Chains A and B, each alone.
Chain A
């Protein structure tokens, strides 16, 4: 978006128009735009189908926290044992059926999955 003063720009846009990031499903929809160049409608529908939720609940932090916790794809307030960072991204790649660059690199570096 071209950010500046965080309250004036980033926070205002996030509340006015944003998907909420990992409070909801914004990071997941973003991944479909980035890996498959999907337009917003198509990307939302794809993610909703994979999460098995209606499209209009993709930005609901209450619904999505439960879904994310259950799927182990990262939540804002991690509980003991929650998937964090790279652990969560492994699951995101599998769930969405996409290649995540750093996950692939992690596997190569660790020999995981050979």
Chain B
């Protein structure tokens, strides 16, 4: 029996038998269904995935007519990261004119709202100049990144030091103070960039520091939408469930810790988010079929309840894309096609 080429989540090539491929798809969807208390993929959907993975083609795509809108978290930085010596406006033009980008995002290399606040006056003229010469909608993006608010990087006692000492209440208070400070920074910087003409603000990698990070972003969104009702806010997540770093924080009566994408999106909608970007982490030691079946199960459940557009995070290490600097086309294109077609996405 011919072996089927595939990869592990770390990108390394593997070969699977047909039975192994079926087993991985079934186990992947079962894992997500169990964790999220959601429905697994149907037999028909698993068959569709089996066909995609057993195809010898090195590249696959969605059917004509099923294309979706793409957004690019921190896109400008990725041209510089690979060592191409262009400025950020040139990077935006490269994406727009050479890479077929539907939208783009201006971003600073120190990609968090806290460090952007004191230099926002330098960021605004760059955006204003970029808007004169580009055509596609431009986001300004950064991370909420509550990790920067605890000592030694920030003003508040470090909860990771307080917790092992048994100072649970002190640690929780520190997180709560960090939430207030982060909301101020996000509202300040996002308002400035919007007032300079940004088409939207992207809160990228939300929840990276757990439930306080998610809460700060929801609150900042609420305030920004009151200030600027027409502002487009994209909220992209950092992980598939909200880590309970504080564990007692709530938004609109819902406890944030442990929420999965189909629950996260409902709170995002309440806060006023325009586009939601759910995440499912890639397990580097399981196969890509296992990871994709698992990711699709979570995202399908999210799309089924969402009333706002969904742009799934499909970057390195999420959405079954491999945890490697140079993700291979065979895996990325399969993940891209299946995610769009099974979940009926609005974008990536």
Please list the residues of chain A having a beta carbon within 8 angstroms of any beta carbon in chain B. Answer: 1-23, 26-27, 29-31, 33-35, 37-40, 43, 55-56, 59, 73-74, 76, 84-86, 88-89, 92, 99-102, 105-106
Contact = CB atoms under 8 A, between A and B. Distances in A.
B100 A23 contact: yes
Contacts, number: 223
Interface string B195-220: 11111100000000000000000000
Interface in B123-179: 128, 131-138
Contacts of B332: 8-9, 12-13, 16
B199 A17 contact: no
A95 to B, nearest CB: 13
A18 B348 CA distance: 8
A21 B79 CA distance: 18
B100 A20 contact: yes
Nearest to A61: B100
Give me the 4 closest cross-chain CB pairs, A-B, nearest first.
Answer: A2-B315, A102-B197, A26-B102, A34-B232
Given A1-B73, A3-B78, A17 B68 contact: yes
B309 A101 contact: no
Interface in B56-104: 59-62, 64-75, 78-79, 82, 95-97, 99-103
A16 B60 contact: yes
A12 B315 contact: no
B221 interface: no
Interface in B287-337: 308-309, 311-316, 318-319, 321, 325-329, 332-333, 336-337
Contacts of A11: 99-100
A37 B313 CA distance: 18
Interface of B: 59-62, 64-75, 78-79, 82, 95-97, 99-103, 128, 131-138, 194-200, 230, 232, 236, 274-275, 277, 279, 308-309, 311-316, 318-319, 321, 325-329, 332-333, 336-337, 339-340, 345-348
24 contacts: A2-B314, A12-B59, A13-B70, A13-B348, A15-B100, A16-B62, A17-B66, A17-B336, A17-B339, A17-B348, A18-B67, A20-B67, A22-B97, A26-B67, A26-B136, A33-B309, A43-B346, A76-B97, A85-B131, A85-B135, A102-B138, A105-B196, A105-B197, A106-B197
A12 to B, nearest CB: 4
A89 B135 contact: yes
A73 B135 CA distance: 8
B229 to A, nearest CB: 11
A35 to B, nearest CB: 7
Contact of B61 (A16, A84, A85): A16
Chain A contact surface mostly: helix
B196 A1 contact: no
Contacts of A34: 103, 137, 199-200, 232, 274-275
Give the one of A19, A34, A76, A105 with max B CB within 10 A.
A34
A40 B346 contact: yes
A86 B128 CA distance: 11
Contact of B197 (A18, A29, A101): A101
Given A10-B78, A76-B97, A19 B337 contact: no
B308 A37 contact: yes
Given A18-B70, A18-B100, A105-B196, A8 B328 contact: yes
A10 B136 CA distance: 15
B197 A14 contact: no
B13 to A, nearest CB: 15
A88 B328 CA distance: 36
Nearest to A89: B135
Contacts of B72: 1, 3, 10
A14 B333 contact: no
Given A3-B315, A27-B103, A17 B61 contact: yes
A11 B60 CA distance: 13
A69 B284 CA distance: 47
Nearest to B103: A30
B70 A17 contact: yes
Contact of A14 (B64, B70, B312): B70
